[in-house]
């Protein structure tokens, strides 16, 4: 079997895999002209199948350099395509203790004490793809982060065509020696809290939140019920799930906007117009896009 029925999301059908999809398209295209010569197999799909056949025979290099890792095929790949070979990434678990012997459950970070954080410390991919919280608020696919992989150079210029070097909102799709482009992936949800941009806030959230939210309310929504209300209209987030989860606590919002800040900077978010938006943009917002990247945008 070429691409097996593994999926990050049990509800995702295997028919989501590109090889299956390409065969379906072909069948649909052929249907009206029965009796005519069968259409040629799409050469890019044939290349994928040939490589997979070599992998199935144990050719490891054919796997490492499988064309599905590179553009243009990776742009069409679905999670099921990747998981057919990489099912292990959803089963990986971190060490129960560091090599120096410190137990994982003895070093709890702030966000790991929250109600949103369930279960024991888990692997990076698991936390982003299959934990209950991840599935409620996010809809990440492998190719949201993985835009190509070059096992030798880990550098985009080797495998990415010049035209594709601007596929990330005008920027290269992945960065030198990094498996993914961190400033276009992680930074979106792990930047610091940009309170300097928020009129009415006098300091970082952890210092002022006590005054901003009487017990049991979401202090972000005190302002964001009416400001920047057209948010999260992108295919890698679940906008409705976020608002639902945020009813209970601002920790949901803060979790992606400063609570797990691996960076001192924050992502320069698009500034999507909202009802009663002031005409003049503040200085910090000059030059910001006014809609999410086209490759992610969903209906408003």
Residues 192, 254 contacting (CB under 8 angstroms) = no
Residues 245, 252 contacting (CB under 8 angstroms) = yes
Residue 246 as a binder of ligand HEC (CB under 6 A): the answer is yes
Nearer to ligand HEC, 1 or 28 (CB): 1
Residue 70 as a binder of ligand HEC (CB under 6 A): the answer is no
Out of 44, 204, 217, 260, the residue judged to bind ligand HEC by CB under 6 A: 260
Structure token digits, residue 210:
């006590």
Window of 19-27, 59-67, 97-105, 155-163 that interacts with ligand HEC by CB under 6 A = 59-67
Residues 278, 203 contacting (CB under 8 angstroms) = no
Window of 25-33, 98-106, 160-168, 179-187 that interacts with ligand HEC by CB under 6 A = 179-187
Q: What is the smallest separation between the CB atom of 158 and ligand HEC, expressed in angstroms?
A: 14
User: How far is the C-alpha of 298 from the C-alpha of 74, rounded, in Å?
Assistant: 21
Interacting residues with ligand HEC between 116 and 145 (CB under 6 A):
116-117, 121-122, 124-125, 127-129, 131, 133-134, 137-138, 140, 142-145
* Residues 6+ positions from 35 with CB-CB distance below 8 Å: none
Out of 156, 201, 249, 261, the residue judged to bind ligand HEC by CB under 6 A: 201
Residues 3, 20 contacting (CB under 8 angstroms) = yes
User: At 132, phi and psi to the nearest 5?
Assistant: -55, -40
Q: What character string, x for contact with ligand HEC (CB under 6 A) and - otherwise, covers 85-104?
A: xx--x--x------------
Please tell me the total number of residues recorded for the chain in this structure: 300
Interacting residues with ligand HEC between 17 and 46 (CB under 6 A):
none
Interacting residues with ligand HEC between 207 and 236 (CB under 6 A):
212, 219-220, 222-224, 227-228, 231-232, 234, 236
Window of 23-31, 97-105, 162-170, 199-207 that interacts with ligand HEC by CB under 6 A = 199-207
Within 198-250, residue ranges assigned H as helices are 205-212, 219-224, 239-246
Residues 73, 48 contacting (CB under 8 angstroms) = yes
Window of 23-31, 38-46, 84-92, 158-166 that interacts with ligand HEC by CB under 6 A = 84-92
User: How far is the C-alpha of 191 from the C-alpha of 259, rounded, in Å?
Assistant: 9
Residue 68 as a binder of ligand HEC (CB under 6 A): the answer is yes
């Amino acid at each position: 079997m070429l691409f097996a029925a593994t999926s990050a999301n049990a509800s995702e059908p295997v028919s989501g895999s590109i090889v299956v999809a390409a065969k379906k398209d072909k069948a649909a295209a052929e249907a009206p002209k029965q009796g005519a010569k069968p259409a040629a197999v799409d050469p890019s799909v044939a290349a994928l199948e040939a490589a997979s056949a070599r992998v199935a025979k144990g050719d490891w290099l054919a796997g490492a350099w499988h064309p599905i890792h590179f553009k243009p095929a990776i742009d069409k790949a679905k999670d099921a395509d990747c998981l057919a070979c990489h099912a292990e990434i959803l089963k990986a678990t971190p060490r129960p203790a560091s090599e120096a012997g410190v137990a994982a459950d003895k070093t709890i970070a702030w966000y790991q004490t929250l109600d949103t954080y369930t279960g024991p410390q888990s692997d990076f991919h698991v936390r982003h793809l299959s934990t209950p919280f991840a599935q409620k608020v996010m809809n990440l696919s492998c190719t949201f982060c993985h835009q190509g992989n070059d096992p030798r150079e880990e550098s985009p210029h080797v495998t990415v065509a010049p035209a594709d070097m601007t596929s990330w909102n005008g920027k290269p799709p992945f960065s030198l020696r990094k498996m993914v482009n961190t400033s276009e992936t992680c930074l979106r949800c792990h930047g610091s809290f940009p309170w300097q941009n928020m009129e009415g806030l006098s300091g970082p959230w952890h210092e002022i939140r006590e005054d901003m939210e009487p017990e049991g309310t979401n202090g972000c929504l005190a302002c964001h019920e009416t400001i920047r209300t057209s948010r999260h209209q992108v295919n890698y987030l679940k906008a409705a799930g976020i608002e639902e989860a945020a009813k209970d606590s601002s920790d949901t919002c803060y979790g992606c906007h400063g609570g797990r800040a691996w960076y001192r900077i924050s992502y320069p978010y698009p500034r999507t117009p909202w009802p009663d938006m002031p005409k003049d943009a503040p200085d910090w917002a000059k030059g910001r896009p006014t809609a999410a990247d086209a490759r992610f945008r969903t209906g408003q």
